[in-house]
Amino acid sequence: LKAINDDKRPMNYNDRQRAIAELSSNPDNEVLINLQLHRALDVLQATQALEPCTAYRDALEVMAAEPEYYYLTRVQHADMPEPKTGEELTDEERSDEERSDAAQCEGLEARRDEVIALLESYAPEGETDGDEIIILDDDEPPPAETKVKKDKGPPCLGIFRKCK
């Protein structure tokens, strides 16, 4: 369960989908799955899917149905998929799945732009009462902790104690 919700080193798209399906088979596990993370990963990893355009479109539709500002930077940074096809095959020789996925790519960029506009409307307001801090880009790493040098006292002269 820890591996499936790891946002630092996520599983690849297909393995993650299989793991989610397996965990979801038990209703008690559903609350343990970080759906927000997986919806974001779905759009970011769609190019790894067997049907990338279908996976990308499905991820966009879920985000449009349940919009959250959290998804905005993920959609903006996700690569646009291209249908996986056998380059040397004629249209008749391609599988129905390949043709279906290629059809899902049509209008995908326009749909992406619509979803981005929707998610932008969920941006936090720019004004606060002075006590609040608004973080607009949650993708930035936290500031590095500074190490405080331990005071070792005065330099050792070797008179009263042995120097190291």
Over the stretch 40-89, which tens digit does the pLDDT of each residue have? 999 999 999 999 999 999 999 999 999 999 999 999 999 999 987 665 44
Whether the predicted model's global pTM rises above the 0.75 cut:
no
d(CA 40, CA 125): 22
For CA atoms 96, 63, 21, 82, the dihedral sign is positive
User: Would you say how long the chain is, in residues?
Assistant: 164
Band (pLDDT 50/70/90 cuts) for residue 37 is very high
Query: Other C-beta atoms within 10 Å of 115: how many?
Result: 21
For the chain, give the longest Cα–Cα distance: 93
Is the distance from CB of 38 to CB of 15 less than 8 angstroms? no
Taking all residues of the chain, what is their mean pLDDT, rounded to a whole number? 82
Q: Which of the pair, 57 or 92, is modelled with greater confidence?
A: 57
Sign of CA dihedral 22, 28, 30, 34: negative
The answer, yes or no, to whether residue 32 has pLDDT greater than 60, is yes
pLDDT of residue 21: 94
